[in-house]
Amino acid sequence: MLRDESDRLRKVAVCTPRHEYSRASSDFERHNIGVLGSPKMAISQHDTLKTALRRFGAEVIDVPELVDHPN
């Protein structure tokens, strides 16, 4: 648990956008998405984020997507 902004992240839970992200195009309003970005770019950017977090010493836990939850 972080006590303030000077503490280091030690564990981070993330959910890489995969299948559900691209399925959101069927109902943007329901998923609170204005415009769907490129799924390939979203995955690439997410992978870059995970690499940076690991580089700074955080354990990255990539949890699976929930069905019908693209965010």
DSSP 8-class letter at 10 = -
Q: Is the pLDDT of residue 27 over 90?
A: no
CA distance 5 to 15: 23
In the predicted model, is pLDDT for residue 5 greater than 90?
no
pLDDT of 26 higher than 70: no
Choose among 18, 32, 23: nearest CA to 68: 23
What's the pLDDT at 52?
A: 96
Q: Sign (positive/negative) of CA torsion 65, 66, 68, 71?
A: negative
Mean pLDDT score of the chain, rounded to an integer? 86
Render pLDDT for 36-70 as a digit per residue (tens, 0 to 9): 788 899 899 999 999 999 999 999 999 998 887 77
